[in-house]
Amino acid sequence: MALRSLDNAIPISPERPKKQAKVAVSIPKLSDPSVNDENRLPSAPIADAIIDYISSENLKPISDPESNIQSLIDGFDSKDWTKFCELLNNARRFALYHPSILHPNLEKVVMILVKAIKNPRSALCKTSLMAASDIFKAFGDNLLEFTDSDAFNQLLLQLLLKASQDKRFVCEEADRALHAMVGSMKPLPLLHKLQSYAGHSNLRVRAKAAISISYCVFKMGLEGMNEFGLVPLLRMVVDSLNDRLPEAREAARCVVLLVHKAFMESEDKEQESWESFCHSNLAPIHAQAIVKLISSQ
């Protein structure tokens, strides 16, 4: 079964020349009322700043990383947000090449990312999303094991929110971060984190969560799905079968098909039919929808 990739083509903003690697960003005054005070990272002098969006493969190791780790962490108190972007790129370099040195500061870095992702400056937001992707790839499940649960929850929420917004180049960077998250972490504990967003009031957040959920289930296999529970999996996505957004409906259908496959490969099919299983564990309207979906395949 083919699941649609979360990756999209890298967008080209209409404000930037198509082949230019750097983006000119106007820095608002500190007193600019359009800047959210709660999330504000201190502003630089009024000027156009050049921000480099450096791909992971073009990042280089840190020279003498043991001596530079503390200056990285202390530097995040900077009042210059362009320097903040440089520090985020350095954090990416630590994550990719020196993860054991960055590891003791992992929780603090996650909270720094949360604050930066929430910032209204698109350049800063995108740079922090790129950092999130590299940190997922470098640390994977350690983000759940060695960071505060609330810190990870806040990061996950911000990724879902940014992936759901209208600003395309930020949205697609958040999609890439979500893809890196699902690809680098064990599906079962991550699925427990994603579960609470399956019924989110924001239909776009709901859809993004459904896509990540479908990838988790796809990675789990029969043993993992049985450990989580086939019935909880169906209940998690059944409402999304009739969601307003097609990507949410498609993701929910993928999960149902995977659960059906797991059921047919389990010993339960010898004792109970799929139709009986659905009707005994789901509301009648939901059971009928799932039975109809499977019979139409």
pLDDT tens-place string over residues 139-180: 999 888 877 778 999 999 999 999 999 889 999 999 999 999
Do residues 123 and 85 make contact, with C-beta atoms less than 8 angstroms apart?
Answer: yes
Nearest by Cα to 179 from 198, 160, 206, 196:
160
Share of the chain above pLDDT 90, in %: 70
Q: Is the pLDDT of residue 101 over 80?
A: yes
| Mean pLDDT computed over 16-29 | 38
pTM over 0.85: no
Q: Where are the domains positioned within the chain?
A: 70-185
Contact 259, 220 (CB under 8 A): no
What's the pLDDT tens digit per position in 30-62? 333 333 343 444 443 333 357 789 999 999 999
Q: Where are the alpha helices (DSSP H) in the chain?
A: 65-75, 81-97, 99-102, 106-118, 122-139, 142-145, 149-163, 168-184, 187-194, 203-228, 230-237, 246-265, 274-281, 284-295
Question: Which of 61-65, 230-234, 265-269 is least confident?
Answer: 265-269
User: pLDDT tier at 268 (50, 70, 90 boundaries)?
Assistant: low
Cα 21 from Cα 23, distance rounded (Å)? 7
Superfamily name and number for 70-185? Leucine-rich Repeat Variant (1.25.10.10)
CA distance 66 to 89: 17
More confident residue, 69 or 44: 69
Torsion angle in degrees (nearest 10) through CA of 146, 159, 77, 90? 80
